Amino acid sequence: MPKLSVIGAGTMGTGIAQVAATAGWDVVVNDSNEDVIEKSSQSLVKVMNRLVEKEKIDQQTADGILGRIDFTEDPQHFENSDLVIEAIIENLEIKQNVFSTVEKIVRPDTIIASNTSSLSLASIGASLDDPTRFVGIHFFNPAPLMPLVEIIPAVQSDPKIVEQAKDWVDNWKKLTVLAKDTPGFIVNRVARPFYGEALRIYEEGIADFATIDWSMKEFGGFRMGPFELMDFIGNDVNYTVTETVFQSFFYDPRYKPSFTQKRMSEAGLLGRKSGKGYYDYSDGISLPEAKKDEKLGRQIVDRVLVMLINEAADALFLNIATKEDIDLAMTKGVNYPKGLLKWADELGVNWCVDRLDRLYDEYREDRYRCSPLLRRMNNKNQSFY
Ligand SMILES: NC(=O)c1ccc[n+]([C@@H]2O[C@H](COP(=O)([O-])OP(=O)(O)OC[C@H]3O[C@@H](n4cnc5c(N)ncnc54)[C@H](O)[C@@H]3O)[C@@H](O)[C@H]2O)c1
């Protein structure tokens, strides 16, 4: 069986190791922190025990998976890997240092990948002597449960390497999509308005958190409302992604972060992990009631949804991915109830353009500019599918 080395035994590294070992790969998990290695190993044992208890797998399978994973602090154990996936702290300089060490240990044909969420693959790949063997493999959290993986070639990547990496991840029973090396790839780019527009609606005083969340679930069919989800992700983490995407797009106003979220993050109101965010999670405190007004609820959903559709259409316009991959990414990476481009067809491209133009006319902000693709399609009476 092929061998995977995972660098970083944190949340993502541990999950990726489980995925590959479950598919029969031999896995080496490395971390520079001994305590983290211990925690990662214990958490995998716990996960396996739970899967056996729930009768999802038998004891022998669990033992087999655990037996295929080795934990080590010593990078020398990366020797003879077919694939290396780096999942360490999101810092370019530290990642670049790690890659120059790794390259000296592994075989010349080992494929080297990063799980980065927000750094450019081109910039990480530049630290390798042979950047043609480098590619982005972006998992979602929790890696064993989320089916989607974004495969991101860097400009330097050899297409054959990209294809091989994609094949392997497909064999790990993941759904892969190909994305261009641009900020946020597919999911973290297209999803921005889910948070940003909801925050804007709140800031304008149109509705409170609970009403916006209720509307998105009740009339949009989303599993979680934006504020619940931001509290779940962590306002610090979500804010940083938004700010990074904004900066990386050379300050395109469409991705402008929200002061509401910045203040929540600054105040340490991070969400579930700090006990309080948009909602108070203390024991005995009940969540606030939504104002269940259907007309208002539908207006909220229309506004957030059309902004999401615009973002998806623009990603297609700029060839970030195919329409099928954009729709698959949002349904499998963040559990949207429908692909956004399919949704656009159902609502009608003309409806989307009209809604966006009305927002633009009202606000005169670039944030609401309609994607040229939607406008072009509307003029020709076209649909996405
Ligand atoms: N958490 C998510 O939701 C998520 C989702 C997709 C991608 N990512 C990306 O995955 C990467 C890891 O994220 P995470 O949430 O698992 O972080 P984490 O903080 O849980 O784990 C990172 C681990 O890397 C280790 N580490 C740091 N420097 C190291 C080095 N030089 N050598 C070996 N180990 C080192 C740390 O000790 C830590 O255990 C980041 O690039 C992040 O952007 C995270």
pLDDT digits (tens, 9 = 90+) for 156-171: 999 999 999 999 999 9
DSSP 13-76: HHHHHHHHHHTT-EEEEE-S-HHHHHHHHHHHHHHHHHHHHTTSS-HHHHHHHHHTEEEES-GG
Q: Which domain holds residue 224?
A: 189-379
Q: How confident is the model at residue 317 (pLDDT cuts 50, 70, 90)?
A: very high
Q: How confident is the model at residue 276 (pLDDT cuts 50, 70, 90)?
A: very high
Of 178, 213, 245, which closes a domain? 178
Nearest protein CA to atom 28 of ligand 1, as residue: 88
* Residue 88: burial class (beta carbons within 10 Å; 0-12, 13-18, 19+): buried
Q: How confident is the model at residue 251 (pLDDT cuts 50, 70, 90)?
A: very high
Q: Is 148 in the pocket of ligand 1 (CB under 6 A)?
A: no
CB 332 within 8 A of CB 148: yes
Which residues are within 8 A (CB) of 290 and not within 5 positions of it... i.e. 6 or more apart?
Answer: 208, 210, 211, 213, 214, 215
CA angle in degrees (0–180, nearest 5) for 137-142-143: 35
In 132-242, DSSP assigns E strands to 134-139, 148-153, 175-178
At 41 the pLDDT is 97
Mean pLDDT over each residue of the chain, to the nearest integer: 97
Q: 200 and 149, same structural domain?
A: no
Nearest atom, ligand 1, residue 14 CA: 16
> pTM here?
0.95
Q: 327 and 306, same structural domain?
A: yes
The verdict on residue 271 lying in a domain is yes
Q: How far does Cα 112 stand from its chain's mean position? A: 20
- Residue 116 belongs to a domain with what CATH number? 3.40.50.720
At 180 the pLDDT is 98
Q: 331 and 218, same structural domain?
A: yes
Q: 356 and 225, same structural domain?
A: yes
203 annotated active-site: no
Of 178, 205, 221, which closes a domain? 178
The mean pLDDT of 183-206, rounded to a whole number, is 97
Spatial separation of the C-alpha atoms in residues 302 and 296, rounded to whole Å = 10
The mean pLDDT of 77-101, rounded to a whole number, is 95
Nearest protein CA to atom 11 of ligand 1, as residue: 87
Q: 211 and 289, same structural domain?
A: yes
Q: How confident is the model at residue 102 (pLDDT cuts 50, 70, 90)?
A: very high
Domain count, the chain: 2
Q: 350 and 240, same structural domain?
A: yes
238 annotated active-site: no
Q: How confident is the model at residue 361 (pLDDT cuts 50, 70, 90)?
A: very high
At 291 the pLDDT is 95
At 126 the pLDDT is 95
Q: How confident is the model at residue 57 (pLDDT cuts 50, 70, 90)?
A: very high
Q: 152 and 211, same structural domain?
A: no
Spatial separation of the C-alpha atoms in residues 99 and 125, rounded to whole Å = 8
Please pick, among 86, 103, 118, 150, the residue that the annotation labels catalytic: 150
77 annotated active-site: no
3-state secondary structure of 138: strand
At 157 the pLDDT is 98
Q: Is 78 in the pocket of ligand 1 (CB under 6 A)?
A: no
At 33 the pLDDT is 96
Spatial separation of the C-alpha atoms in residues 152 and 185, rounded to whole Å = 8
* Closest to 193 (Cα-Cα) out of 152, 226, 168, 229: 226
Q: How confident is the model at residue 203 (pLDDT cuts 50, 70, 90)?
A: very high
Nearest protein CA to atom 3 of ligand 1, as residue: 141
Q: How confident is the model at residue 150 (pLDDT cuts 50, 70, 90)?
A: very high
Q: Is 11 in the pocket of ligand 1 (CB under 6 A)?
A: yes
Q: What are phi and psi of 173, to 5 degrees?
A: 65, 35
Please pick, among 138, 215, 265, 310, the residue that the annotation labels catalytic: 138
Paired with 30 in beta bridges are: 7, 72
pLDDT in tens, 322-339: 999 999 999 999 999 999
CB 118 within 8 A of CB 42: no
Q: 123 and 199, same structural domain?
A: no
Q: What is the DSSP letter of 276?
A: B
The verdict on residue 183 lying in a domain is no
Nearest protein CA to atom 20 of ligand 1, as residue: 10
117 annotated active-site: yes
